[in-house]
Amino acid sequence: KIMNNVIKAYRDVGIIHGDLNEYNVILNPSDRKVYIIDWPQWIPRNHVLARKLLLRDIKYIGKFFKKKYGYQPIYPDII
């Protein structure tokens, strides 16, 4: 669900979070919806650093899941 939100932001809206990590993700336990917060540092998809920051965001989330849950997510090709 987190990666779906990252993909939607990138493909549909044309933005990248720029500082995505486990502290910027909220899971609502009642409906299991995922929310990504803290967007002030977002950048547009066509920014010179966009690809670098998107890959960094994805890497940080992957590290979190591997460390906390022993699960290494497989990411779709979103760029």
Q: Which residues pair with 15 in a beta bridge?
A: 44
Q: Is 12 a catalytic residue?
A: no
CA angle 27, 20, 17 (to 5 degrees): 110
- Beta carbons within 10 angstroms of residue 18's beta carbon: 18
Catalytic option among 19, 31, 38, 57? 19
Q: What's the start-to-end Cα distance of the chain, in Å?
A: 18
Which residues does the annotation mark as catalytic?
Answer: 19
